Amino acid sequence: MDPWQTLPRRAAFTCLLLLGNLPGQGVIDGSGSAAAEIAASGPTAVAARLPVRAKVRDTVVELTWDPPEGRAVTGYRVYRAGDDRPIHGEKLLKTPHFVDVGLSPGHIYTYRVRAVLADGTENDEYRPITAVAGFGIAGDELLQNPSNEAPLTDGRIPHWTEAAGSQWTRRESEPEPSAGEAYFFAPDESTAELRQDVDVSAYAESIAAGRQRFVFAGYVHSWDQSPADTARIVVEYRDRDNATVLASFDSGEIANVTRWQRMADVRAAPRGTARIRVRLISTRYNGSNNDGYFDGLSLRAVAPPAG
């Protein structure tokens, strides 16, 4: 089998990394085994994923990266998530550096860097990086199953709790998802609530110092009728006992019948925050279905800007 063979686009592969000690090489930190998911999104995908660095200012994100070793590269392309065209136009970048300007503070931007090989194909060797303009680099996704892409488990949405209503499920069309293949939907309930609690105690030190921010984003939509059903998102910063709400973001009831509407919030976690609860609340005002929809949810810790 050719280890560099072309892999299918939009596929995910799991690579088992076995770490151990070699004779005379001392101790490898964290020896054991680990699983790493490799996303194949270009004509050629490889196991090694190289880092991309970013400096974040109010309306500017500056990206730098190192050339891949042992490969003849003619240039680079940089993409934003959700756009199939390079954000710098069709002309290749000749150096491993790009500055994205005119950004909206508080908005989330995910970048993918791709090296262009001598034969014109793109090599997806670089890890995506997500920045929050004006705030810093966003870490890994903290929500599990944030866009309802996972299959149902015994008829239930995995990783989410039904706080009101018992028929939450996946919906795939009418309307089309904002991205991916499905979104959250509570078909027959008059009022329904789905929630997920995220343990953020790993950030306790920076939260206690008052310098830990989190960014939330999500999309809502309603069926085209009058009056329209509504979708509402509440994000609660809660104490260690999960009993007291220390701060919250509340979108209010949204009834956007024409498009997916983006909700976003960036804030410093109040001292004492140990959990963040994301609540999806849909309310039926018309018809037999509860047609307030949710998709593309995200909750991430934000590292302070560098440089």
Run of H or E residues at 136: strand 136-138
Q: What percent of the chain has pLDDT over 70?
A: 83
Contact 235, 277 (CB under 8 A): yes
Question: What class, spelled out in words, does domain 161-303 have in CATH?
Answer: mainly beta
Report the range of poorest mean pLDDT among 30-44, 155-169, 207-221: 30-44
Q: What pLDDT, in 10s, does the model give residues 128-170?
A: 899 999 889 999 999 999 999 999 999 999 999 999 988 899 9
Contact 141, 156 (CB under 8 A): no
* Identical fold between 48-138 and 161-303: no
283-296: average pLDDT: 95
Q: What are the φ and ψ backbone dihedral angles of 88, each rounded to 5 degrees?
A: -105, 10
pLDDT at 291: 95
The residue to which tokens 């979108």 are assigned: 251
Q: What residue spans define the domains of the chain?
A: 48-138, 161-303
Report the range of poorest mean pLDDT among 21-30, 94-103, 212-221: 21-30
Higher model confidence: residue 90 or residue 221?
221
pTM: 0.74
Instruction: Please work out, in degrees rounded to the nearest 5, the angle formed at the alpha carbon of residue 281 by the alpha carbons of 283 and 134.
Output: 130
Cα distance between residue 60 and residue 155, in whole Å: 44
pLDDT at 106: 81
Run of H or E residues at 204: helix 204-208
> Does residue 39 carry a pLDDT above 80?
no
Cα distance between residue 81 and residue 222, in whole Å: 24
Report the CATH fold assignment for 48-138.
Answer: Immunoglobulin-like (2.60.40)
249-274: average pLDDT: 95
Question: How many other C-beta atoms are found inside a 10 Å radius of the C-beta of residue 303?
Answer: 18
pLDDT at 189: 85
Nearest to 39 by CA among 112, 96, 92: 112
Report the range of poorest mean pLDDT among 40-44, 80-84, 96-100, 187-191: 40-44
Contacts 24+ apart (CB under 8 A), 177-180: 177/147, 177/295, 178/219, 178/221, 178/260, 178/295, 178/296, 179/82, 179/147, 179/295, 179/296, 180/147, 180/149, 180/295, 180/296
Question: How many other C-beta atoms are found inside a 10 Å radius of the C-beta of residue 49?
Answer: 15
The rounded mean pLDDT for the chain is 84
Cα distance between residue 276 and residue 262, in whole Å: 20
Cα distance between residue 39 and residue 10, in whole Å: 7
Q: What pLDDT, in 10s, does the model give residues 223-259?
A: 999 999 999 999 999 999 999 999 999 999 999 999 9
Higher model confidence: residue 15 or residue 74?
74
In sequence order, what are the residues at sequence separation of 6 or more whose Cβ sits closer than 8 angstroms to the Cβ of residue 152?
158, 169, 170
> Does residue 298 carry a pLDDT above 60?
yes
pLDDT at 179: 84
259-274: average pLDDT: 94
pLDDT at 305: 59
Looking at residue 105, its amino acid is P
> Does residue 213 carry a pLDDT above 70?
yes
